[in-house]
Structure 1
Amino acid sequence: MNRFTEYQPSLESYFRAVILFGKNSASYKFAMAKALLEVGGKGRESFISLQDISVHFAAHICEHLKLSDKQAISSSSKYLDICRGYNAGTVSYDELIESTRKLGFVNVLDAFHNVNNNRLPVSFFEVSKSDNTKGIILTDDMYRILQSVQADSFETEVEARWRLVETAWSTGVSSNMLKVRHDESAELLFVEEHDRGRRTNITSSRDALNGYQKGKCFYCFRDISTKSGHPDLADVDHFLPHRLALMFEENLDGVWNLVLSCQDCNRGSKGKFACIPHIEYLDRLFRRNEFLIESHHPLRETLMNQTGRTRDKRISYLNLIYNLSLSASGGTQWRPTFELPPAF
């Protein structure tokens, strides 16, 4: 099992592991995750037919096909062609739903709970039949995570992961050449395709980073939210202050240097502001980055391009930039006044 789920496994961690570390040969797992969140959010049901799930599943696939036509590694897909036909107006809604019921779940029902070739020790649904109608039953664990403090973040995290994966597929750029960058003012991750002279916004940086921190502040492990307007809305923080970028000519806007912080730690009365975190948090940053590198989406290549292709090079890079930053800031290190038990 991946280190992400080994340290402090919880239901939220397992659900995120499905999204963050599952193998991506098609986007069906993302559509299934969003469908589960939607049908589960309506209240307890003893049985949910594939017909009912298809309404949600197909809607998300069709929506993402409008954003990016590449929704699978395979060059051909009968089901995706039907969804394209629905978007083009040549396939009726009833045909779309019936085709989804027959074709959309062929692999995803069995593969959903598999992570890194291992099956999770928990299940969020079970395949079942009622009066010869195939469907699923949501488990108590699924309803528990829907009642958790992180419930509002799951949908945006799935969307963020989906956008990152389809961007890698759709740009036509080799994954080791794809550079994901951060727009500080808009709080967006984006890809700039120099040969095409355009910029593609991918996703909110909050949503992309939140799952790897398990919905916790990077520094004190308090619960944070990515939902706009929430009182605990996370700040996107530069671990090493952005103001040092000109001094070192380093990409401090890079994903490697971005973490999510609670408002108290980032800008409270005894917050970090432009201070340098204590060196123990550098190790935490390294481990967080390694979580990202162990996953399968473009942030892996972006991080390695920014900090080093091997583990030893990444350690050396972080150590060098950290000590330069510490020296430039007078050697003062910051730590939060309050810290819960580690969550990652």
Structure 2
Amino acid sequence: MTQQSKFYLIEPSNENYWRAIILFGRNVASYKFALAKALYDMRKRSGDLIKLEDLAPAYAEHICEHLLKCDRQATSPQSKFLDACRAYNNNDSDHSHLIENTVKLGFQNVIDAFHNVHGSEIPKRFFLDERATNGGIRLTDEFFNLAETPQFADLNSETEARWRLVETAWSLSMPRQALQVSLDDTSSVLQVATQARRVSITSSRDALNGYQKGRCFYCFQNISTEQHASELADVDHFFPHMLHFCADGKPINGVANLVLACRECNRGREGKFDRLPEPILLERLHNRNEYLIGSHHPLRETLMVQTGTTEAKRRNFLQSVYSCSRETIISTWRPQQRGYSVF
């Protein structure tokens, strides 16, 4: 069983099949993210058949918006569709030409590839390809059921965060092993350090939530990334800040050490605070990090630089940091489990 299939088979819900599509694809272009966000936008329309000409405006809008943030939206140096979107952004083309080019060029590969994760198709489909018979796609019950789940709003934010990570990595044109994604403590934003400056990428909550399946890392109760939600997650350091000297030169603010926790676990009456979690939770951190490894550019490269190039080295790294930590923090902390284990 691959790490990617393990992700959704442990808890085979619509949310986790969708997350597998967004988080674990081998991205050569950002079209899958744009299609996902366009489907979010169209979830309340009547009927299940979406003609390409009806899908194109929302799809193209997301591509055009991201081109303004980051001009590189694919690994290939040339794309007629992206050129059409750039022309629209530069006022060299009108909206009707943008939609015409989107219908003609924008969906050539993304509809076929959407449900593929690492070379195989996931067991559930959120739409059917009916371009040949009805000129569009047909949404399935799985998609409509997904849209009714409490986590649906978070899925949209997770898609945006994943898109920002990928396009930032492409735009920096840095060697993969040189990319270092870390946390800015003051803003809870993930950033990449270059030789000249630090580049803010996206909310750490939105970037990490999908890999934890919308659950607290410690107790598994539901959490949210919505700013005003009562279940808003805290960004916690598994190994507390005070243990920075144990990290053997690796950043304590690196993504390998960041987890999302509910407020009760992080700073509630019986919360973790600066205590060290029990050893069994170290295995959970390792499993979560292996999901991050599976997501590829740039999280894969960051994790491998921070913790090791093989699964065995990464496991040994975490164990060595834990052993060092126990020399400083004698007592350990155990959370009260409030949900069922999902990773």
Range into which the TM-score falls when normalised by the shorter chain: over 0.9
Q: Which amino acid aligns with 1:217?
A: C
- 1:107 is aligned to 109
- 2:238 is aligned to 239
For structure 1, the 5+ residue unaligned runs are none
- 2:221 is aligned to 222
Secondary structure at 1:328's aligned position in 2? Answer: coil
Give the distance between the partners of 1:243 and 1:44, measured in 2 at CA.
54
Which of 25, 32, 38 aligns to 1:35? It is 38
- 1:179 is aligned to 180
Structure 1 residue 337: Cα displacement? 2.3
Which of 18, 26, 29 aligns to 1:26? It is 29
1:6 pairs with 2:9: yes
Counterpart contact for 2:25–2:118, Cα < 8 Å: yes
Give the distance between the partners of 1:304 and 1:129, measured in 2 at CA.
41
- 1:92 is aligned to 94
Counterpart contact for 1:27–1:162, Cα < 8 Å: yes
Structure 1 residue 43: Cα displacement? 4.3
Secondary structure at 2:327's aligned position in 1? Answer: helix
- 1:285 is aligned to 285
- 2:147 is aligned to 146
Q: Which amino acid aligns with 1:278?
A: E
Which of 50, 56, 59 aligns to 2:58? It is 56
Give the distance between the partners of 1:52 and 1:146, measured in 2 at CA.
19
Q: Which amino acid aligns with 2:130?
A: S
Structure 1 residue 133: Cα displacement? 5.1
- 2:267 is aligned to 267
Give the distance between the partners of 1:236 and 1:152, measured in 2 at CA.
19
For residues 262-304 of structure 1, give each alpha carbon's deviation from its aligned partner in whole angstroms, at most 9, with x where no partner exists: 1111111101111100100000000111111122221111111
Length, aligned pairs only: 339
Structure 1 residue 247: Cα displacement? 6.7
* Identity score, percent: 50
1:212 pairs with 2:211: yes
Counterpart contact for 2:56–2:103, Cα < 8 Å: yes
Give the distance between the partners of 1:335 and 1:44, measured in 2 at CA.
48
Counterpart contact for 1:125–1:142, Cα < 8 Å: yes
- 1:319 is aligned to 319
For residues 19-69 of structure 1, give each alpha carbon's deviation from its aligned partner in whole angstroms, at most 9, with x where no partner exists: 0111211100000000111101x2442321111111110001001111111
Give the distance between the partners of 2:336 and 2:315, measured in 1 at CA.
27
Counterpart contact for 2:48–2:140, Cα < 8 Å: no
Give the distance between the partners of 2:140 and 2:155, measured in 1 at CA.
17
TM-score, normalisation: structure 2 = 0.95
Give the distance between the partners of 2:341 and 2:259, measured in 1 at CA.
15
- 2:163 is aligned to 162
Structure 1 residue 338: Cα displacement? 3.1
Secondary structure at 1:210's aligned position in 2? Answer: helix
Structure 1 residue 6: Cα displacement? 2.6
Structure 1 residue 335: Cα displacement? 1.0
Counterpart contact for 1:160–1:204, Cα < 8 Å: yes
Secondary structure at 1:226's aligned position in 2? Answer: coil
Structure 1 residue 149: Cα displacement? 1.5
Q: Which amino acid aligns with 2:47?
A: E
Counterpart contact for 1:152–1:225, Cα < 8 Å: no
Counterpart contact for 2:272–2:333, Cα < 8 Å: yes
Give the distance between the partners of 1:98 and 1:230, measured in 2 at CA.
40
For structure 2, the 5+ residue unaligned runs are none
Structure 1 residue 136: Cα displacement? 1.6
TM-score, normalisation: structure 1 = 0.95
Counterpart contact for 2:154–2:226, Cα < 8 Å: yes
- 1:134 is aligned to 135
Counterpart contact for 1:219–1:339, Cα < 8 Å: no
Give the distance between the partners of 2:336 and 2:291, measured in 1 at CA.
26
For residues 76-103 of structure 1, give each alpha carbon's deviation from its aligned partner in whole angstroms, at most 9, with x where no partner exists: 0000000000010001111001111111
Secondary structure at 2:23's aligned position in 1? Answer: helix
Q: Which amino acid aligns with 2:112?
A: D
Matches within 5 A, 1:319-338: 319-329=319-329, 331-338=330-337
Q: CA RMSD in A?
A: 1.5
Q: Which amino acid aligns with 1:46?
A: D
Structure 1 residue 250: Cα displacement? 4.7
